[in-house]
């Protein structure tokens, strides 16, 4: 079984959507509802699995619009990019406010064990709604820092920001994520351990992941953080 050894790690930072909370599918469905009308007569419909994971997941809204439509050979105007991003955001917020947010049980078990052993924890997202999602899932008490994404910064640099807020060096922090841009950014950041949660057969090892697992239930915790 894969394990996080807390004798060398002082904190663990988690990507939220799809790792801690079951909200990746809500994001994907919201994207499909705005992309498909735009694609009609231009390209094939948006695939909530392949297109979302390869071109949108882990990116800021506007970067996701540009990257996905670019993959279809389309060059939308900035007005269209902004309109599609805003429409997706409205749908996503409506869905989580109406139906709430579910946390993965294996994530909750892991977070509690990490904290019991003295590890600090962080939640991050490329989405600007990370804090809203964590609050809706009832998990705020399990995190020391929560970092929302930012519109003005393409890609998820929030792992670095979380480490700074925790007042720790990257090599003292483990990262757990499930997006291609997120794992790639972590791989460039000098983090002490990079764990990729892969439910779709993506190439995370090539991006710098030290471990690749299918579910957080496969991830054990050993040692304790030394005070």
CB neighbourhood size of 105 (10 A): 10
Closest C-alpha to 16, from 108, 113, 88: 108
Closest C-alpha to 197, from 185, 213, 184, 186: 213
- The question of whether 17 is a catalytic residue gets the answer yes
- The question of whether 51 is a catalytic residue gets the answer no
**For residue 35, how many C-alpha atoms fall within 13 Å in the half-sphere facing its CB?**
27
| List of long-range contacts for 192-199, beta carbons under 8 Å, 24+ apart | 192/8, 192/9, 193/4, 193/9, 195/2, 195/4, 195/219, 197/18, 197/19, 199/18
Task: Round to the nearest angstrom and report the end-to-end CA distance of the chain.
Answer: 26
26 touches 91 (CB < 8 A): no
- Check 17, 51, 63, 160 and give the catalytic one: 17
Residue tagged 């060398």 (tokens): 8
> What residues are labeled active site?
15, 17
């Amino acid at each position: 079984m894969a394990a996080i050894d807390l004798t060398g790690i002082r904190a663990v930072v988690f990507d939220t959507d799809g790792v801690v909370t079951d909200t990746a599918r809500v994001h994907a469905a919201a994207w499909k509802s705005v992309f498909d009308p735009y694609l009609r007569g231009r390209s094939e419909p948006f695939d909530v699995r392949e297109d979302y994971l390869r071109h949108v997941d882990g990116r800021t809204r506007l970067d996701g619009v540009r990257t996905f439509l670019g993959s279809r050979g389309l060059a939308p105007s900035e007005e269209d990019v902004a309109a599609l991003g805003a429409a997706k955001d409205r749908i996503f917020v409506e869905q989580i406010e109406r139906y709430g947010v579910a946390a993965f049980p294996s994530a909750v078990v892991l977070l509690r064990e990490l904290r019991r052993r003295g590890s600090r924890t962080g939640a991050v997202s490329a989405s600007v709604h990370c804090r809203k999602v964590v609050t809706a899932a009832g998990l705020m008490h399990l995190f020391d820092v929560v970092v929302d994404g930012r519109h003005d910064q393409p890609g998820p640099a929030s792992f670095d920001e979380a480490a700074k807020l925790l007042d720790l060096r990257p090599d003292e922090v483990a990262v757990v994520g499930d997006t291609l841009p997120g794992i790639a950014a972590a791989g460039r950041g000098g983090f002490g351990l990079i764990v990729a949660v892969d439910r779709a057969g993506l190439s995370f090892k090539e991006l710098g992941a030290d471990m690749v697992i299918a579910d957080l239930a496969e991830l054990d915790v050993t040692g304790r953080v030394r005070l």
